[in-house]
Amino acid sequence: MSSLLVLNGPNLNLLGTRQPDIYGRVTLDDIEKMCRSYAKQKGVGLEFAQSNHEGALVDHLHAAKGTHDAVIFNAGAYTHTSVALMDAVSSVGLPVIELHLSNVHAREAFRHKSFLAPVALGIISGFGARGYTLAIDAALSHLGAEP
């Protein structure tokens, strides 16, 4: 059975109340429940984690090596600032899908640059919470685990 890590970065714990005009009213708990249900339907194991701390996200990525087959990573604002996360993604040797709830290219110019994009398998952006299930499908397809 394949195993995925769904990793979420800073401020995503505030989903549902944080800028709902941009991020919607779905909470991170709602997204986790949706992902767990979807993963169960697909027969895939899933770990779900969130941290507001860059180093903790690096630790989660390091721990994924040898434990998970792929990572779905919504790094939040760290996408646009963190060389440390870029290095961690490139160091663990796992396929990583960069994920964003909003369409970052339709927003402020600083959000158009991603440090993760050059080392990610691909990017899903702008589909709200549905992006998580799209990312699960993309990861499974890449792994050859899609039934």
Of the CA atoms within 13 Å of residue 66, those in its CB half-sphere come to 2
* CATH code, domain carrying 84: 3.40.50.9100
* pLDDT number for residue 78: 96
* pLDDT number for residue 116: 97
The answer to whether 132 is a known catalytic residue is no
Give the C-alpha distances (Å, rounded to integers) separating 146 from 31, 37, 55, 60. 21, 16, 32, 25
Quick one: tokens of 68? 């998970």
Beta-bridge mates of residue 6: 48, 72
Give the C-alpha distances (Å, rounded to integers) separating 110 from 23, 69, 126. 18, 31, 16
* Whole-angstrom Cα Rg for the chain: 14
Q: Which of 60, 68, 78, 100 is catalytic?
A: 100
Say if residues 128 and 24 touch (Cβ distance below 8 Å). Answer: yes
Say if residues 66 and 77 touch (Cβ distance below 8 Å). Answer: no
The answer to whether 78 is a known catalytic residue is no
Give me the residues of the chain with pLDDT under 70, please: 146-147
Helix, strand, or coil here: 135?
Answer: helix
**H or E, element range at 47:** strand 45-50
* pLDDT number for residue 21: 83
Q: Which pTM does this prediction carry?
A: 0.94
Q: Which of 23, 60, 78, 132 is catalytic?
A: 23
pLDDT tens, position by position, 42-84: 999 999 999 999 999 999 999 999 999 999 999 999 999 999 9
Q: For the chain, what is the domain count?
A: 1
* Distance from C-alpha of 12 to C-alpha of 8, rounded to nearest angstrom: 7
Domain span at 84: 3-143
